Amino acid sequence: MRSQFHPAIPETSHAAPAVSGHCCADPASLSRALTEAAEACAERGTQLTPARRRVLELLLSSHRPVKAYDLIANIGEGGFPAKPPTIYRALDFLMQNGLAHRIESLNAFIACGLHGCRRAVAFLICEQCGAADERDAGAALADLQDWAAGRNFAIKVSVIEARGICANCALSAGAGSER
């Protein structure tokens, strides 16, 4: 039996910003998310191996996007060798199966907050607090897809990232200016 779960990714000076809605703060929600991921993989005819599961567990337990070298530093806590190829293969698998995303501008990874989406997503990234919010990009990509199709261009990856100031930071800035 596994001991009580705790977030494994430390707050470091090179850590990426916080993400809203992507982490499993309690053991029950973490266990549920991992079970759902394993079931989704089985439905697709793939397998959530122990190493893949551990990487997903680290992503789900983090309150922020996680850089690959933070995963490498922390995967050993689950009894797996901390070798870069293991991490990168697991991340590739998780992304290909809609269980994780890469935030390109941060060179960091997060668990999918949309329960295993296989479509493109968009991120709103706060430049002040670092919060990142995820949404299915759906219709936002229609023009891009039409443009690419008109040029016989095959899109492999689409990432939409918008940077700005989140509502919480805007409110805090407004409250601070009233003093």
Q: What angle do CA 135, 137, 142 make, to 5 degrees?
A: 165
Who's near 135: CB < 8 A, 6+ residues apart?
114, 121, 122, 123, 124
Question: Residue 47 domain-assigned?
Answer: yes
Assign 82 a pLDDT band (cuts: 50, 70, 90).
confident
Q: How far apart are CA 138 and CA 103, in angstroms?
A: 17
| Per-residue model confidence (pLDDT) at position 9 | 36
What residues pair up with 29 in beta bridges, in sequence order? Answer: none
Do 105 and 132 meet the contact criterion of CB atoms below 8 Å apart? no
Question: What pLDDT is attached to residue 138?
Answer: 77
Residue 50 included in any domain: yes
At 121-168, the pLDDT tens digits run 888 888 888 777 888 887 778 888 899 999 999 988 777 899 999 999
Tokens found for residue 9: 């990714």
Contacts of 36 (CB under 8 A, 6+ apart): 115, 116
Residue 6 has pLDDT above 50, yes or no: no
Q: State the total domains in the chain.
A: 1
Instruction: State pLDDT tens for residues 15-48.
Output: 333 334 455 668 888 999 999 999 999 999 999 9
pLDDT score recorded for residue 115:
61
Identify whether 161 is part of a domain.
yes
Query: Residue 129 is part of a domain; what is its CATH number?
Result: 1.10.10.10
- Tell me whether residue 51 is in a domain: yes
Listed range (9-13, 50-54, 70-74, 129-133) with the worst mean pLDDT: 9-13
In a domain, 14, yes or no: no
Whose tokens are 């989704």? That residue is 40
Q: Is 4 within a domain?
A: no
Q: Is 7 within the bounds of a domain?
A: no
Strand-pairing partners, residue 132, are 19, 125
Q: How many whole angstroms separate alpha carbon 104 and alpha carbon 107?
A: 5
Instruction: Choose between 41 and 62: higher pLDDT.
Output: 41
Mean pLDDT score across all residues of the chain: 79
| Residue 56: predicted pLDDT | 95
Domain-located, residue 78: yes
Residue 139: give the domain boundaries: 27-177
